[in-house]
Structure 1
Amino acid sequence: MENTYRLKQTFICTAIALAISGCASTAPKGKYVDGSHEVSAKGKKSQIVLAVDVENGNIKEISTKSHNETESLYLNAERLLPKIVANNGHEEIDAVSGATYSSNGILQAINDLPRADGSQPEFQSVGSTQTTQEAFKLKWSVQPQLGLVAGDYYYQEERFRQGHMGSMTVVLDSNNPNDIILAEFNEDGRPNYYTRLYQDVPKRMSEYNFSMGKKKGTAWIQSAVTMEQLMMAEDKLIFEENPNWDPKLANKLKQPNRLKYAGLDIVAGASNSIQQSLVPLSAKIHHQIQTEGSQLKFYQHAEKLVDSNGKWIGQTALLRFVVDSNSKKIVDVYYDEIFADEKKQITDASLKNFYRQSKYQSVMYEEPARIGFNVMMDALEQHIVSGGSMFDIDDLPATGDSGSYAATGFTKLSSSWANYLKQADILYQQMQADGVIETHSKG
């Protein structure tokens, strides 16, 4: 009886193991032949060629070697690659809506990977049950570093390509010039941009990122931030060109990029901006640091705005001054109020749609004072740079209730001025302590 029981027990365990193996909905371990493989399949317009690395039977990495699909559609379809890696195969993965043919080309190519058991299942094309936005929720942050940032200031700007204006800000620790404490890239759309909404509009904290995200599957700012973080982490502003770069692969998200930091997803949505603007401007700044240096000092303070109960309202005040340490005069001013990264963090329901944007850079933001926020702050900059006190602002737009909108254009006091004055006082005290600024009257 004991032997019979053991025999039955062995049979049951084996049957359970076979059932589990046969019914698994996801690919089992040890499915594929180890090594580096090249597989391909037909998309909508071309053959899609993938390079796939397999270790211990599992897919470890997939990259696109070549294709001639519509670029924006393929970038969306290519977002299936990490899902295939996580699933160790294409089974039960749907196509991306709007890129069905390219998606099926990718999935069919993966189906052709050599399998450890020698089998070759027939590929069944799939439809799309989810939209691109549902499948790939884009997330990025526009939040500044809170508190004080101060150091040696470097700035370069130049038009590139068809007239876009790229600008690069770099701040070094004054006590350690090898330490990059701030790197920030921005770009204004060209004056004749085909979408009038983005003509001469800065991209970093405007609606442009949402528009680009829908077209390319990646927001413009995501690539810029990736580069900035790399520069600060490595204290490095220049990169050697990759001699193996193939121009035909210019916009492929998973391909080795133009520079040697391959593996970073920096090209989709901002490929031309990175190659033609950020990298050259950073190289110019590097040269300036190595040769003439800078007499300009950078001071920034950012602070979360709170209500009467001390709760963050989903807006962050940011003020920057650039001071000439020789003349002790302010030569550049930028004040902005930046909205939270998530709608739910913004307490004012009328402002929730401006998440991941700022009052100055947003195209659609409406200032309650009945004048453009950017107009107010451009007037502030002109006032201070021309020699006015940073505190004596009574003659600037929306600093008081001026009566009839029809007569004057200004009807309400902007609450932003009180926020600005608080940040200005903080920076003024620091600049005075450092001895880099002349006296500004507080009235």
Structure 2
Amino acid sequence: MILVLSSLTLVACSNENSQPDEPKAKKVAVESQGHDYNYDVVTSATTTTFGTHPEAKYTKEEKEARMFWSVQSPTGLIKGHYYKNESEFDGGNRGILELVTDDDGKLIHVEFNEMASANYYEPKYANASKRLSDYAFFQASNTRTDDTLVTWVNGITFLEGQMLAENRLDGNFETVKGSSTSARNGMMPLAAEMKDWVKKPFGFYYYGIAEPLGNGLTARLQVVTEDGKLVSVKYDEIFADQKQEITDPNLQAFYRQSKYFSLDYGKETANSFVKFADGIEKQVLKTQDLLDVPEQDTESFRNYEKLAQKIHVEMGK
């Protein structure tokens, strides 16, 4: 079963609030992971407000109620030919674009990640994932997002959805006004470089599976092979987009983050999950067997083993 990240529907064609020096925007309604968004979108870069701190328009509670973004991966199984491209842009931020296609070359999965630069102006986020840490909350807390009500995640998932829906990697795309820098300077150039790559298999194959655990967490395992050899095994557990969906009150603070990339969760747990996931990958790459891993009496190990068994079956087909 293949699931896409989002679907896009136009609902209007103007924005009376556009600034004179800004490209003319239009409203787009987006449905993603069961939540409706309304974005101002443009077809070129927008003027950045980086470094500004205008007067607040909302209280913290009001703004939290107005803003939403999703960090959830598609649930179910995705498998196909795998492609990866990465590069630094805008002062050392590292963009990483991963694509999966079916046997006919059609895009079935598009995922962009960005690691903040080593000298990022807010030291907490140096080398951190902008997608799966609390980086988007950091953006949301700044009053410069009071007008747009969007974060890095909104801009990227919107572009991912377009690429999937239109099955293309180059040419111009609409981007979310107020959250277009990484999309245009990071993701789009990487995608354009890959437009000819996806016309033929490179020998890399992807198996990805994500399943809700029923407690406000989703387990995700991503496996990549090169000519049949295991070369990447990434396991993570992603917290729900709404804190009330997380059954353990002690974990609700980490909503819209993942165990592997959450800076605060890592600090609170002495990076135990990172050590666990890295240990799994090291062992599997050594044995070349997803199931040849020393048993551990932990919930995360049992979650990993369940997904690994399913991918093991798929790899044997």
Superposition TM-score, scaled by structure 2 size? 0.78
| SS of equivalent to 2:263 | coil
- The structure 2 residue matched to 1:268, chosen from 174, 178, 184, is 178
User: Equivalent of 1:322, from 224, 230, 234?
Assistant: 224
Matched-pair contact (CA < 8 Å) for 1:205–1:356: yes
Judge conservation of contact 2:79–2:208 (CA < 8 Å) in 1: yes
> In the alignment, is the contact (CA less than 8 A) between 1:339 and 1:358 conserved in 2?
yes
Deviation of 1:60 after TM superposition, in Å, equals 6.3
Aligned match for 1:414, one of 280, 285, 298: 298
Partner residue in 1 for 2:111: 184
Q: Which of 78, 90, 97 is the equivalent residue of 1:168?
A: 97
Q: Where in structure 2 are the equivalents of 1:193-204 lying within 5 Å? A: 193-204=120-131
1:151 aligns with 2:61: no
Deviation at residue 367 of structure 1 after TM alignment: 8.5
Cα distance, 1:204 vs structure 2: 0.9
Check 1:60–1:146 CA distance in 2 against 1; reply closer, same or farther (3 A cut): closer
Q: 1:64 aligns with which of 12, 15, 18?
A: 18
* Whole-angstrom distance in 1 between the partners of 2:278 and 2:71: 21
SS of the residue corresponding to residue 344 of structure 1 reads helix
Matches within 5 A, 1:88-237: 99=55, 130-131=58-59, 134-135=62-63, 137-174=66-103, 176-177=104-105, 179-215=106-142, 216-217=144-145, 218-237=150-169
Displacement after TM superposition at 1:144 (Å): 1.6
Q: Quick one: which of 363, 385, 393 aligns to 2:285? A: 385
- Answer yes or no: is the 8 Å Cα contact 1:369–1:414 preserved in 2: no
Task: Supply the distance in 2 between the matched residues of 1:427 and 1:302 (Cα, whole angstroms).
Answer: 11
Among candidates 299, 312, 316, match of residue 428 of structure 1 = 312
Structure possessing the higher relative contact order (Cα contacts under 8 Å, 6 or more residues apart): 2
Distance 1:367 1:163 in 2: 24
What's the counterpart of residue 302 of structure 1? 210
Within 2, Cα distance between the matches of 1:432 and 1:390? 12
Contact preservation (8 Å) 2:284, 2:292: no
SS in 2 for 1:278: helix
Give the match for residue 408 of structure 1. none
Q: Deviations over 1:226-253 (max 9, x none)?
A: 000011111111124xxxxxxxxxxxxx
Task: Please tell me whether Structure 1 or Structure 2 has the larger radius of gyration of its CA atoms.
Answer: 1
In 1, distance between residues paired with 2:134 and 2:19? 33
- In structure 1, stretches of 5+ residues that fail to align are 1-58, 69-81, 83-96, 101-127, 241-258, 306-311, 401-412, 434-443
Is the contact made by 2:260 and 2:266 (CA closer than 8 Å) also made in structure 1? Answer: no
Q: 2: CA distance between counterparts of 1:314 and 1:371? A: 20
Does the aligned pair in 2 maintain the 1:340–1:346 contact within 8 Å?
Answer: yes
Once residues 161 and 255 of structure 2 are traced to their aligned partners in structure 1, the CA distance between those partners, rounded to angstroms, is 22
Q: How many residues align structurally?
A: 270
Give the C-alpha shift of residue 387 in structure 1.
3.9
Name the CA distance, whole Å, in 2 between partners of 1:350 and 1:165.
32
Q: Displacement, 1:213?
A: 1.7
Asked if the contact 2:230/2:288 (under 8 Å) is kept, the reply is no
1:371-391 per-position Cα deviation (integer Å, ceiling 9, x unaligned): 431222122222223444322
Partner of 1:12: none
Contact map agreement 2:99 2:107 (CA 8 A) in 1: yes
Secondary structure of the residue aligned to 1:64 is coil
The separation in 1 between residues aligned to 2:286 and 2:195, in whole angstroms, is 30
- Say whether the 8 Å CA contact 1:367–1:373 is kept in structure 2: no
